[in-house]
Each structure stands twice: as C-alpha cells, then as structure tokens.
Chains A and B, each alone.
Chain A
Amino acid sequence: MIPPSFDYHAPDTLEEASRLLLANPEAKLLAGGHSLIPMMRFRLAEPAALVDLRKIPGLSGIREDGGSLRIGAMTRESELEKSDLVQSRYPLLADTTRVIADPVVRNLATVGGNVAHADPGNDHPAAMLAYRASFVAAGPSGQRTIAASDFFTGPFSTSLEEGEILTEIRIPEAGPGSGGAYRKFERKVGDYAVAAVAVQLQLDGGRISGAGVALTNVGLTAIQAGAAEAALVGSDGGDAALDAAAEAAAAAADPTDDHRGSADYKRAVVRVLTHRAASSALTRAREAS
C-alpha cells in the first residue's frame, strides 16, 4: 500500500495549475485525494506528478447567485452537510452528500473531485444530472460552462480538455414547488452503491412540470433516465406514474454482474429506488409549494 514516487506541486493560481497540467501529461490534479490516493497506494494509478489545488484561492464556498446555487469545486463534502442553505433548500444534494463514503472521508473529499473523477460509482454525477446542473471550467483558452448532460463521457472520463480545471458547480436555484431525493442502496456504509437513484421534481399546480431522474453505478457513467422523466412529467405523481417511471429507469440501467449482485438484481434495485426516491421527492416538492 505504498505508492511509487511522484513530484508534487502546489501552485497558487489556476493559470499555474493549468500550465503544470499541460507541461506534465502524466500529472493528476489533487483535490481531496480520497479517490486518487487509494488508487496510487494500490499502484493502480501512478501519476508522475500531483498538482494540488488547495492553495488556490476562491475555489470553495456555497452561495446562491444569479439564479444558481454555486458550489466551488474544492468545497468539502462535510461543508455541504453543515450548510443550512443546502440542508433547507436542496434536499437532493443534502441526501447525496450524506451517503458519500463515511464522515472521515467527507471531511476532506471535495464536491468537484467527486464530479470530475467521473467514477460511475460516485454519487454526485447522478444528482447533478437530475438537477440539470452545469459545470464551470477554466483552462488555457479561458473559462466555459458545460452542461452536466455533456460532461460525463465514459468511466473516469469527462469533456474537460487538456489543462482544463473544474472550478464551480451550478445548480438551478430552488424555487417554490421544487423537491428532490437521492436513494442509495449500499452493502455497507462507505461502499459504492449497488445502485442509487437521484430524482428532482418541479410541481406546478399539483402536477409535475419538470423531472430529472438519474442513476448511479449501473452503467459506464451516471445515466440520465429520460424515459423515466417523461413518465413523470405531466402526471400528478400517483402510483401509476411512479411505477411507470420506475420501470423506465430500470430499463435505462445498464448494469453488469459483480459482487454487489447480478445485473437483474441491480435493475430491480433501480426500480425500487426510483419509486422510493420519486415518492420522497414528491413529498418534499409539495412541502415546498
């Protein structure tokens, strides 16, 4: 469990970090390190250099601004847990954070790391897809915004370009009638999900006017379940609509057999969790109306 040797950089600016990444194609960004460092200790990842983001100012914080909840990429998971804003207005995000790894990990692990590492087992990607979040990236050619639906391109891969660094996550500001939930089923606390489902709903006059449904760890990336969303939109959130959404989500899942269970089992879990998450999201959206 001892990694090979590597160079370590802790630049003060994003520009310098970006330059270091471009200069060292074998370099990796270090945020909270709670995915990368275990992989290095197993020698599954052997980066020649680490570029640590911790000294760069302005990369963490949680605030509402310009119609968005803005979360700095270096914001620790535990900060989301302690944020009244997140806890009171963004229940899907609050649910998600609480089930990532364990409290010790959450003290250091970052939201940006969880997103940008793009492990299909990570929990934030599905939540971000359900929220219709967007990601701000800074790089050699300046700053740009990427929709969550365009971000996750494969296991451990994203649409970030060489030298680009995720700096901020933007979630549409919670309004009246919005509510969400994340339901994760794990073998034990700290494990990756057998399957997990994120649901974000918007209610309008008692009917669902907008829905985001996304799945964790049942495919090569987090999966946005469009057919499940369609099954909910326009409905009153009755059991028939929830059952239809759950069935559609199960069909959208593309799991494989492994130690967490067979593909059939995981699809069944997606079905159950979709129903439960949607039901909880609905209750919360009604409370927020």
Chain B
Amino acid sequence: MAECRGLGHSVQRKEDARFIRGQGRYIDDIKLPGMLYLDIARSPYAHAKITRIHEDTAMAVDGVAAVITGKTLEGFKLAWMPTLMSDQQMVLPVDTVKYQAQEVAAIVATSRYAAADGAAALEVDYDPLPVVVDPHEALKPGATKVRDDKDSNHIFHWEHGDADGTEAALAGCDTVVEQKMHLPRIHVASIETCGCVASWNPVEGHLTLYLTTQAPHAIRTVVALVTAHLGLAEHKIRVISPDIGGGFGGKVPVYPGYVLATAASVVTGKPVKWIEDRSENLSADSFARDYHITATLGSKNGKVTALKLDTVADHGYSDAAANPSKFPAGLYHIATGSYDLENAHVSVDGVYTNKPPGGIAYRCSFRVTEAVHAIERMVDLLARENGEDPADFRLRNFIKPEQFPYQSALGWEYDSGNYGAALEKAMDMIGYQDLRAEQAEKRARGQLMGIGISSFTEIVGAGPSKTFDILGIKMFDSAEIRIHPTGKAIARFGTKSQGQGHETTYAQIIAEELGIPPEDIQVEEGDTDTAPYGLGTYASRSTPTAGAAASIASRKIREKARKIAAHLLEADEADLVWEQGKFHVKGSPDRAKTIQDIAFAAYTNHPQGMEAGLEAISYYDPPNLTFPFGSYICCVDIDRGTGQVKIRRFVAVDDCGVRINPMIVDGQIHGGLTMGIAPALLEEISYDADGNITGGNLMEYLVPTAMETPHWELGETVTPSPHHPIGAKGVGESATVGAPPAVVNAVVDALWHLGVRHMEIPMTPARVWNVLNEHGAAATR
C-alpha cells in the first residue's frame, strides 16, 4: 500500500496543477451564451441629493440595452437590502448618495466596452450636501446626519467586562499607561476583484448565481430571504463559487453589484456578468479596521492587572460588518491577549460617516487584529514604564501552561497554550540578547535600530452554536465523504477555499483517518447543489470546523468499515485492530483487509442486513473556539535621512496546534506576515474633508511587493487543541493579526531614547521623518 501521507506531510498542493498552468476557472472565465454585461455608474460626491438621472444619455450609446436606477428597484422593493448586522444598505439610491463611488445606476449592454461607455456617458444631476468624514465629529451634537432613516450618527454601543471592577483595579495600580491609537481603514485588495454571473431561467423559474463568495450556502439563503416576495425560493437558487483569487474577508458580504446583475438577468431573461474593476474594488467594497482606540493598562508590583479599551468604530454609512450576529464588535474582547489579567472592560461605539459601508474582518477572526494591536502596544509601553525589558515583562505576565483551560476576564475559555515557550524560541532564533547589545552600540554611534515583540493570542474557528450564528444560522460546518467501489473517494464541504489549499489539507485529514492517499480523494466545495450546507471560509474557521467534520465523517466510515471487515475476515468486530489503512485480526497481522478491499465489498459483498455503500456526513458544531498563538520578533533599521523603516529580520514562531501540511502552514504564514507588515508600513485608505477617497487605486494604495517583503524566519511550537478531533487550531490569519504591533514596537523601540512613545500606522517614511525632525534626530546626509 502506498504511504497514505496524512498529517504532518508537506504534500504538494493538489490544486496547484491547474493554478500554475493558468487553468483555474475564475468568475471572469465564465461565459454563457447570449450573456450581457453590466457596469456601474458611481457618485463623484460623498454626500449629495440626486436631482435627476438622464437615462437617455446612456441609452444613446451603441449596445446599451437597459439602465437600472434606484427608482426601478424601488418598484420591486429591492432598492435597499439588509446587512449582516441588521442594518440596511442601498442597492441603488432612490434620492441620496452617501459616499464617493457609491453605485448610482447600472448599465446593461451587449459588450463590456459598451457597458463601460454607457456608464461614462450617463449624466446625473447632483445637489451636494454637507459631508462628515471624522467619526468623532459625527458624534457631536448638530453634526451632519448621515442617515435620513436614523435619529443620529450613533449606531450602537457595545461593552463587555466589568466596568466598575476595572476602574477600581486601575485605581489600585502603581503603574498605568494610556495611549490613543488609530487602526486606519485598509482594504484586502485581493488579486481577483469581486464579480458575478447571474443566469435566470424564466421557464424553470431558476436562478444560477456564479459568485466570488467565501460563503456560498449562506448567500443562497440570504438571496432566498431577500427575494421571497418576488417568488424566488431556495430550491430554485444555485450558487456556484468557482476558483477564487483571494478573499480575506472581502468576499463575505453581498455587494450591490450582485443584486443588480441578478435583477438585470431577471429583467432581460439573459445571463448578466458584472466584474468590478480595481478602483471600484478599492473604493466601494467593504473596508476593514477603522477603529479609534483609547487604551489603558495598569500593573501592580510588575503584574498586569487591568485593561480598559474605549473605542470609536467608523462604519461608513451603513453597519455592513461581517460578524457573527451576536457580536457587533466581533471578537474584540479577546483583547486581554496572552496575559493573565484579572480585570478588563472593552467598549465600542459604532458611528456612521460618509464613507463606504463595512467593516469586514481583513484576514482576521472579527476584530482580533484591533484587539491584538491594542494589547501588544500597551504591554510594551507598560513594560518600559516598569523599567523592564518587554520580553522579560511578557514572560512574567503570560498565562502559564498549567492555567489552561484558562478563563479570561472577558469570558473566553482559552483551550491550550504555552506562550513562554514560543517567545523563548523566537528570542533564541533571533539572538535577542545579541541584538540588544548591537542596538546599544549603534545608538551610541547615532544609528537607529529597534527590536519589537508581539506575543499574540488568536481566537478562531467560529463557532459553537450556543453563541455563534449569522442571521440565526448556526456556525457549524460540514463534510460529506463517499468512498467509491475502487477505494477512491469524493469529499464535499460547506467551506470554500480562496487559496488556502483545502483540496490538499482536507484530503490529508481523510488520508490520516482512513488510510486513503490524498491523491485518491477528490475534494469539492462551492456548489450549493452538491456540497453540504456550511457557513463558509473566513475567520480561520475551515480547519477548526469543516476539517473537524472531515475527521468525524471519516470515523463514521471507519465504523461501518469495521463491520464489513469483520464480515470479510469472518472475525468478531471486537477482535479487529485498526492500523492506518486496514483492519487486521488481533494477533494475526496477515489476516487483514485494506480500506480499498472494504470499499469494494461495500458495493459487492456487504453483510446481509446492512445497507450497501460507504459514506458519511458530519455537521460539526465545535465545542469551543480554538486559540492559536505565537511570538514574533521584528528588528528594524531606520534611515535618519529619509525616515525609511527597513525590516532587517523578522522571526515568527507560530503555534497553531497540530500541523496538517507544514508547507501550506508556512505559506499561510508567509502571506499573512506580508499582509501584516503592509498596514504597519504602507497601506491606508483615507479621505479628505469632502469625502474624496485617496487610495482608490494601486498607485496610492501601497500593497507590498516581493521587494518590500523581508525574508521571513519561521519557527514552531505545537500545543494541540484538546477539543479538536486532530488537535489542529487554524493558521490562516495568525500572521496578519500578530505582525503589525511587532513592527510598531520595533520602530518605537528604535526611537524610545528620543522620547518617542507611540507611532500611528502606517509608519510611512514621511511620518517617521516628521517624528525624527521634531526630536532633532533627522540627518542631512
């Protein structure tokens, strides 16, 4: 029997054969007969009344077949749609636009070029209205009101933890640090933008929706609920999510373009394709972050005791965040991080502004990045205020291995961890003490070098049905496995890979459980007509949920296989011993039947009274979340002449529990680290006072290339999750979440002796130079 290559093997990715040969099938590769194309005319203003849309100006363009406006949709009660956070957002405005680049009208044409020309030709009359872009301004009395249907710009107040206890604990601290910080708007900027092909069959009353979505099943249900009044029902809707070129949370929401293409297909009776361009993607799709945080952290006798976070969250004109429904600020209350902290309180106030709606979790399990940034910055500050090295301070204040399962002050039960081991390993790898000595030497010579640590704890794998749902649908996920007579298999899942390598890792889990080699297992996701129902892929949940389902379904199959083996071997079930890939009779290893033998028998020679076939399905409801963690150490040099921060070394020690495919894990960490240093150094979407976007194209939105990316030095520790069937925790987002504060801490460390205590991100050369200049440390050569 071939080696089954289950857990722990760097199996080459099954999906790469098609990806590296250009044979992936993405949304824009889908072409249907008679297909029309849709383009969107967008608002040049951040806030304006639409006085007239001159539809004839677009209709005059050759090839334009239809112009859809908010008034058209209003007739079908489709001008507004619900968001996942029980707010609503416009598909198209009936009378007022609320942010620059908002959809104003859809142009349907016989070619993509004609559609674009129609959108450019469409004349719209606007009356500009006052704009509010700063969420603090938006909260002041008399501020311009963003939403006509709301009383104020204040969306929600959410808080968690013991407010009074935390205040009392802070009052009793001998050392307290407070710091304001802003995590600016950023965008996932996936290589593939969003798009869809909607194909309505008027005869069958059936809609096929090819969609760049991370959650095809949930989208099908949402579409059914939103269009029920028009006669569409869920069994007549098929959502197909083809290959996806990066999701990172940006392909969780429903965008107006999807609804418009669907409406256009229903109206025209033809398939309609909508593919957004890069500028639309950056300036109108859901943003991430935009948290204004005031953090307070206190210690007594060198022991961290109390954390307080007060937060203003800028959601744009609609709360279109993609969170589990009971969590308006996501899992922000993981904010006590890796530290044994008895008192904590966090609050978030959501605010409307004249900006695009959001925000989504950019490669992050719902606001965990914001939480980690806050605690890791504050621990660094508090360490120094205590006169202690940030590494030593962390090591003393970590939750200890023997405290797991650990009840956090904000109500989570951390499953497992060994934080000190991870940090010590990272310190060994980077040569922490030597770097500190080098830094002292360099500082004496006037050179700026810094070392920054981030010891993050993540919270992923949403989630247990008791608390986690999206619009009421519990956040389980699923696997369905069928073993064919020849011992090959097909496995289908409710999740959807966007580059994570599910086709390989899921096959490896099944290989581990059943002994069928990964190459003999076909893995499919994304087609709601064939795959079992699941909530999709985001928040590092695929391995914790669907991966667990793969194990459980495999084990169900193994139990049936045992019965068949007993029949074939004429032995008692209880006398059979499972070794990977076969059952043998206890004491007689030669009396054995492989899983392939058993599969054949399941269709040709199954016991009397047993149903034929060998398959199983599992809908896995995780008993708890998983808590991956790690310690990152970043070493930077700063050019005193230009303000440029150069990452010299970056060591990342990750603990994601049991590793399924180490190569894929490393790849996830490499990508995540790159996406982690990006907001620290480069990426930001900002707006001027009139609400004009800056950063709406890739000349201004600075996505790092290979040239900006340092060499990553990876290390690992393995602390299995005690509740996951194979001990895995999920790893897709750890690096994005953990990396930013390591870079900030390194830069602040480099500048500490000048009196610098904080840096906002992104730490652009201009921003760093300004700080150098203010402190008289800028060089002229």
Contact = CB atoms under 8 A, between A and B. Distances in A.
B778 interface: yes
A184 B442 CA distance: 26
B44 interface: no
B781 A246 contact: yes
Interface stretch (A70-78, A154-162, A269-277): A269-277
B705 A189 contact: yes
Contacts of B644: 185
A5 B113 contact: yes
A259 B641 contact: no
Contacts of B766: 194, 260-262, 265
A102 interface: yes
B780 A246 contact: yes
B707 A188 contact: yes
A1 B643 CA distance: 34
A190 B705 contact: yes
A191 interface: yes
Interface in A238-269: 242-243, 246, 259-262, 264-265, 268-269
A268 B778 contact: yes
A187 B699 contact: no
B403 to A, nearest CB: 43
Interface in B22-38: none
B773 to A, nearest CB: 7
A275 B781 contact: yes
Nearest to A271: B780
A188 B773 contact: no
B277 A272 contact: no
Interface string B278-290: 1100000000000
Given A243-B780, A262-B766, A272 B642 contact: yes
Interface in B675-692: 682
Interface in A82-134: 102
Contacts of A265: 643, 766, 769-770
B781 A187 contact: no
Contact of B773 (A42, A102, A191, A268): A268
B754 interface: no
Interface in A158-193: 185, 187-192
B702 A187 contact: yes
A140 B764 CA distance: 49
Interface string B693-737: 010010110101101100000000000000000000000000000
A206 interface: no
A25 interface: no
B113 A272 contact: no
A272 B117 contact: no
Given A194-B765, A259-B694, A189 B781 contact: no
A2 to B, nearest CB: 4
B120 interface: yes
Nearest to A243: B780
B705 to A, nearest CB: 5
Contact of A272 (B694, B700, B764, B781): B781
B116 interface: yes
Interface in B230-261: none
Contacts of A260: 766
Given A5-B117, A272-B781, A191 B702 contact: yes
B228 interface: no
Interface residues of A, number: 31
Contacts of A185: 642, 644, 765
Nearest to B704: A188
B112 interface: yes
Interface in B756-781: 764-766, 769-770, 773, 778-781
A121 to B, nearest CB: 10
A2 B778 contact: no
A67 interface: no
A279 B120 CA distance: 51
Contacts of A1: 277-279
Nearest to A1: B277
A4 B778 CA distance: 48
A187 B277 contact: no
Nearest to B684: A259
Contacts of B117: 2, 4-5
A187 B707 contact: no
Nearest to B117: A4
B271 to A, nearest CB: 20
A275 B765 contact: no
Contacts of B120: 4, 43
A105 to B, nearest CB: 12
Interface in B108-161: 112-113, 116-117, 120
Contact of B113 (A2, A194, A261, A276): A2
A5 B112 CA distance: 12
Nearest to B639: A272
Nearest to A247: B780
Contacts of B278: 1
A186 to B, nearest CB: 9
B641 A272 contact: yes
Given A187-B764, A260-B766, A102 B705 contact: yes
Contacts of B277: 1-2
Contact of A261 (B116, B279, B682, B765): B765
A189 B769 contact: no
Nearest to B682: A188
Contacts of B781: 242-243, 246, 272, 275-276
Contacts of B643: 265
B682 A187 contact: yes
Contact of B769 (A42, A188, A261): A261
Contacts of B769: 261, 265, 268-269
A5 B120 CA distance: 12
Interface of B: 112-113, 116-117, 120, 277-279, 641-644, 682, 694, 697, 699-700, 702, 704-705, 707-708, 764-766, 769-770, 773, 778-781
Top 5 A-B residue pairs of the complex, sorted by shortest distance between their CB atoms: A261-B766, A272-B641, A2-B116, A189-B707, A1-B277
Given A191-B699, A265-B766, 18 more contacts: A1-B277, A1-B278, A2-B277, A187-B702, A187-B764, A189-B705, A189-B707, A189-B708, A194-B765, A194-B766, A242-B781, A243-B781, A260-B766, A264-B773, A271-B780, A272-B781, A275-B780, A275-B781
Interface of A: 1-2, 4-5, 42-43, 102, 185, 187-192, 194, 242-243, 246, 259-262, 264-265, 268-269, 271-273, 275-276
